[in-house]
Amino acid sequence: MRKDIIEIRWHGRGGQGAITAAKIVANGAFVSGYKGVVMAPTFGTERRGAPVFTSLKISREKIYDLSPIATPDMVVVLDHTLLDEVDVVAGLKENGLVILNAPPPASAYNFGGARVAVS
């Protein structure tokens, strides 16, 4: 994987807006001059409220690798209750960042050395 690609994986529940949020960030990156923006939502026929995730790759150069993200730089979790159901940090790069929509403080959450921001 090229080092100049920022990889972000978004986790949420169907209907919470994880895919919409990723689309907004993707659009903002493109408008800001990033030439490579690839988004790959992953969901099936799950009911509303089921876990969903989407991948977003951003680069200053065109991205030709359309494969799913295996080792994200950042993980955004919109629903902290997913922590009991999904390994949201699977493959997270060393010193990766977890942005978690959960009650503070950030020190209450341990993701094996990952940096954590709580909103």
pLDDT of residue 1: 47
Whether residue 44 has pLDDT greater than 70: no
Pick the closest to residue 36 from 60, 56, 54, 55 (CA basis). Answer: 60
CA end-to-end span of the chain, whole Å? 30
Strand partners, 10: 54, 76
Per-residue confidence band for 47, with pLDDT thresholds at 50, 70 and 90? confident
Q: What is the mean pLDDT of the chain?
A: 91
More confident residue, 25 or 43: 25
In the chain, the domains with their CATH numbers are 6-118 (3.40.920.10)
Whether residue 45 has pLDDT greater than 90: no
Q: Report the pLDDT averaged over residues 91-107.
A: 92
Global pTM? Answer: 0.90
pLDDT of residue 69: 92
